[in-house]
Structure 1
Amino acid sequence: MKKRIKGNYMPDKKIFKEYILRSFLGQGAFGRVYLVENDIGLSFALKVLEKNVQVEKRGVESVMRIQSNRLVSIQDYGKTTDDEDCILMEYLPASLEDILAERPINELTAFKYFIEILLGLKVLERNNILHRDIKPANLFVLEDIIKIGDFGTARYISGESSSKTSGVGTLHYMAPEAFHNKYGFAADRWSAAVVYYRMLTGTLVFQGDDPAGIMGSIVEGKIDTDLLSYNYRPFFGKCFQKDPEKRYQSIDAMMKAAKNIRKSPEIQNQIREKKLKPVTQQKTKYKLRDKPIRAPNEKFYKILGLHSNLRPLGYIKNDFKDNKNNTVTDRATGLIWQKSGSDTYIDYKAAQEYIQQLNRRRFAGYNNWRMPTVEELISLLEQEKQSNNLYVSSLFDKKQLWCWSSDKRSLSAAWHVQFDRGYFHYFEEKCYVRAVRSLPF
């Protein structure tokens, strides 16, 4: 007997008009999304609304009349078989958020995607539609095209700005004027620039320890240009001016400025030499092994180049940046670390499950966390004890005295690094775990 799908609907039964329910796709802030098929087998996404129903329907009605391949098309809306409000949309399986979480993208792809996002915004602006929630999760990738979707927050405005527009959106991507409930198309352009910055650097431009801290960073903070090459700094400096009047005043102006970066001698040389790399790589000094291996003592010591006391022959000069979201970026190695880790010491299987749990709940906004290799863990070691009485920077939580690596000594033993003693060893029982992920390369 088939089980009901979330929302109390039966699979392979009609859920809306002639559309057959196939599977549950996910839960959003305002509703559930299902995969459905029509009577000839074409797939669509059906969003069943749970909150802000009238607001979402108004946004959809504003967009339905627009015919453009830059926007996720809205097919229909009405009531499900269970009398819930729903919206039938074009089905696109891959969002930009999915892609960024799974793998890094190179600089050329980031540029192409950014131009695609701006072209979509241009369509909306031409029709006097303000989206108000531009972010990777609402941008859908179809081959080389980016389509803007999720119009629940969209609204029609009569001019460049509106005094009646309320502050909605996703915090990290919101423009400073959005917090004052008076904003317009410049806010969507700001959000697009935040997406571009994230594609290039692998991190969000405005961060904080909590919502108030993030908001403060957006309203008053300066952008971190360290992860950007010189060519990009003037562009993002203008994109993130607090006063909308000091930013690019049109989509065309933004596109022209972005394209001019591509024409700079430095970028052109990279293209000619087929060495186009993400901006972040220019700051990286050390490339560390990220794939786990299994090796006995002698081979492992040789691979790592260690003293007989299991300490490194040399120490990396780290370049740490506290991301204010319980993570630390080491710009010297291109790695992003948890500041803390597991609350208790756990066995190896539990450590692997801990990593999976981080990815399921998208810790710090990502689902590509992994267990570090010994080589990566050793890169954190300091030659002398720090103020936390450990051989690791005091930026990190001192609770994790020793941490599992992904490298194995045998089937039953894994290598680990001891931050309380400053060396590495192998273990068969329990350790803490600190997750890592790589910046885009």
Structure 2
Amino acid sequence: MQGRNWISVFTVTLLAGLLLTGSVAAADKPPREPVAKSADQRFWDMGDGTVLDTETRLMWMKRDFWQTQRGWVNWYTAMEFVQRMNNKNFAGYEDWRMPTPEEAKTLYNRRKRNTDKDGDKIFIDPIFPNGAGWGTWTSQERGGKAIVVSYKDRGGEDYQDKINGPDAFLRPVRGPLP
């Protein structure tokens, strides 16, 4: 009888430890079914504040920094925001990061129409809600500058000052997923 009690206490302690330390990785979670799909079936709204790009296997935050915080963001504050989302375990994941320029550019598609926070056209899939920023900071930096990718007009990228970059935004990403 005493042996069974020890096993029960051990099992409960082990399970509690796994839950508290996060040893059961979020990446190991089984994929969920999307609540909506884009017209071309490429983007899946996962219903938890994320959008999965089935082509690149990248998972994006559905709403960008402007939509969640109602403000522009410099590069350093963008990095802090990503860390905060990881600390909050946003959507059950702790591996959010800034996109690379190449990853950020995969959202741009001249055939897709959406509107930014000012009502101007941006070219990302309408599965992302209207009212986002016109682009995103990326992880690529050089000295006091980092690349911002634009979703306006012809798209593209440009190095902006990491502290005083003009009205910059952020859309965090994770992956690519297996």
How far is the alpha carbon of 1:329 from its aligned partner? 0.3
Cα separation, 1, equivalents of 2:49 and 2:56: 18
Distance (whole Å) between structure 2 residues aligned to residue 74 and residue 385 of structure 1: 56
Partner SS for 2:97: coil
Whether 1:438 and 2:175 are equivalent positions in the alignment is: yes
Indicate how the Cα distance of structure 1 residues 94 and 415 shifts in structure 2: closer, same or farther if over 3 A, else same.
Answer: same
Which amino acid is 1:407 matched to? Answer: Q
Looking at structure 2, the residues matched to 92 and 387 of structure 1 have their Cα atoms a distance apart, in angstroms, of 45
Distance, in Å, in 2 between the alignment partners of 1:318 and 1:347 is 33
CA distance in 1, matches of 2:112, 2:15: 55
What is the distance in 2 between the residues matched to 1:354 and 1:387? 24
What does 1:353-372 align with in structure 2 at a 5 Å threshold? 353-372=80-99
Supply the AA of the counterpart residue of 1:204.
R
CA distance in 1, matches of 2:136, 2:48: 21
CA displacement at 1:353 relative to structure 2 = 0.2
Partner of residue 121, structure 1 = none
Give matches, 1:203-218, under 5 Å.
203-205=31-33
Partners of 2:87 and 2:122 lie apart in 1 by 31
Where do residues 175-194 of structure 1 align in structure 2 (5 Å cutoff)?
Answer: none
Partner of 2:23: 98
Tell me the CA shift for residue 318 of structure 1.
Answer: 7.8
CA distance change for structure 1 residues 99 and 375 in 2, over 3 Å: closer, same or farther? farther
Corresponding residue for 2:104? 377
Higher normalized helix content (fraction of residues): 1
Which consecutive unaligned segments of at least 5 residues does structure 1 have? 1-63, 76-87, 106-194, 209-223, 225-316
The residue matched to 2:103 in structure 1 has which SS? helix
Q: Residue 353 of structure 1 aligns to which amino acid in structure 2?
A: E
Q: TM-score, normalised by structure 1?
A: 0.32
Tell me how far apart the structure 2 counterparts of residues 420 and 383 of structure 1 sit (CA, whole Å).
Answer: 9
Are 1:407 and 2:140 counterparts? yes
Distance 1:347 1:92, change over 3 A: same
Task: Provide the residue aligned with 2:63 in structure 1.
Answer: 340
Counterpart residue type for residue 418 of structure 1: S
CA 1:318–1:406 in structure 2 vs 1: closer, same or farther (change >3 Å)? farther
- Residues 99-157 of structure 1 show CA distances to partners (whole Å, capped at 9, x for unaligned) of 423xx46xxxxxxxxxxxxxxxxxxxxxxxxxxxxxxxxxxxxxxxxxxxxxxxxxxxx
SS of 2:127's partner is coil
Q: Which amino acid aligns with 1:89?
A: T
Q: Does structure 1 residue 418 correspond to structure 2 residue 150? A: yes
Cα displacement string for residues 278-322 of structure 1 (whole angstroms, at most 9, x for unaligned residues): xxxxxxxxxxxxxxxxxxxxxxxxxxxxxxxxxxxxxxx981111
SS in 2 for 1:356: helix
Write out per-residue CA displacement over residues 327-381 of structure 1, whole angstroms, 9 at most, x where no aligned residue: 1100100110011111221111100000011011111111110110000000111
Cα displacement (A) at 1:91: 8.3
TM-score normalised according to structure 2 size: 0.74
Indicate conservation of the 8 Å contact 2:114/2:123, yes or no. Answer: no
| Structure 2: segments with no counterpart, 5+ residues | 116-120
On the 8 A contact 1:383/1:391 being kept in 2, the answer is yes
Taking a change above 3 Å as real, the CA distance of residues 440 and 384 of structure 1, as seen in their structure-2 partners, is closer
- The offset of 1:414, in angstroms, is 0.3
User: Pairwise CA RMSD of aligned residues?
Assistant: 3.1
Q: 1:384 Cα deviation (Å)? A: 3.8
Distance 1:90 1:423 in 2: 50
| Alignment correspondent of 1:221 | none
- Alignment of 1:89 with 2:89, yes or no, is no
What code does the residue aligned with 1:416 have? V
The one-letter amino acid paired with 1:363 is F
Percent identity between the two aligned chains: 25
Aligned amino acid, residue 358 of structure 1? M
> How many pairs does the alignment contain?
157
Q: What amino acid maps onto 1:333 in structure 2? A: T
Query: Are residues 326 and 65 of structure 1, via their aligned partners in 2, closer, same or farther at CA, if it must alter by over 3 Å?
Result: same
The 1:65/1:337 distance shift into structure 2, 3 A limit, reads same
